[in-house]
Amino acid sequence: MARKKIALIGAGMIGGTLAHLAAMRELGDIVLFDIAEGMPQGKALDISQCGPVDGFDASLKGTNDYADIAGADVVIVTAGVPRKPGMSRDDLLGINLSVMKAVGAGIKANAPDAFVICITNPLDAMVWALREFSGLPHNKVVGMAGVLDSARFATFLAQEFKVSVRDVNAFVLGGHGDTMVPVTSYTTVSGIPVDDLVKMGRSTRERIDEIVTRTRGGGGEIVALLKTGSAYYAPATSAIAMAEAYLNDQKRILPCASYVEGKYGLDGLYVGVPTVIGAGGAEEVIEIALDDEAKGNLQVSVDAVKELLEACKAIDGDLA
Question: Catalytic site residues?
Answer: 176
197 and 142 Cβ atoms separated by less than 8 Å: no
11 is in an annotated binding site: yes
Cα distances (angstroms) measured from residue 131 to each of 54, 117, 139, 208, 256: 36, 10, 10, 36, 15
Pairing of strands 74-77, 115-118: parallel
Query: Does 15 sit near ligand APR (CB under 6 A)?
Result: yes
Q: Are 259 and 282 spatial neighbours (Cβ–Cβ below 8 Å)?
A: yes
In this structure, the number of other CB atoms found within 10 A of the CB of residue 205 comes to 11
- Check residue 145 for interaction with ligand APR (CB under 6 A): no
Neighbours of 61 (CB within 10 A): 17
Closest approach, Cβ 184 to ligand APR, in A, equals: 26
Ligand-binding site membership of 167 (annotated): no
State the minimum distance, in angstroms, from the CB of residue 12 to ligand APR: 2
Number of residues this chain uses to bind ligand APR (CB under 6 A): 26
Q: What x/- string results for residues 39 through 78 when contact with ligand APR is judged by CB under 6 A?
A: ---------------------------------------x
Q: By CB under 6 A, is residue 12 in contact with ligand APR?
A: yes
Give the Cα separation of 239 and 18 in Å (integer).
8
Is 120 annotated to bind a ligand? Reply is yes
32 binding ligand APR? (CB under 6 A): no
Rule CB under 6 A: say whether 130 interacts with ligand APR: no
Minimum CB distance to ligand APR smaller for 120 or for 297: 120
CA distance 230 to 251: 30
Cα angle vertex 133, ends 172, 310, to 5°? 60
Helices (H), 164-291: 194-199, 205-216, 218-226, 233-247
Other Cβ atoms closer than 10 A to 107: 26
Binder to ligand APR among 19, 32, 75, 79 (CB under 6 A)? 79
Binding residue (CB under 6 A) for ligand APR from 29, 34, 124, 149? 34
Q: Which residues ranging from 202 to 241 are in contact with ligand APR (CB under 6 A)?
A: 229-230, 232, 235
Cβ–Cβ under 8 Å, residues 284 and 97: no
In the complex with ligand APR, the residue whose CB is nearer, 84 or 207, is 84
Q: Is 119 annotated as a binding residue?
A: yes
Task: Pick the closest to residue 61 from 107, 92, 23, 91 (CA basis).
Answer: 23
Q: In the range 84-123, which residues lie near ligand APR by CB under 6 A? A: 96, 99, 102-103, 119-121
Residue 69 counted as an annotated binding residue: no
Residue 216 annotated in ligand binding: no
Report the binding-site residues. Answer: 10-15, 34, 83, 89, 96, 119-121, 152
Residues near ligand APR, by CB under 6 A? 9-15, 34-36, 78-80, 82-83, 96, 99, 102-103, 119-121, 229-230, 232, 235
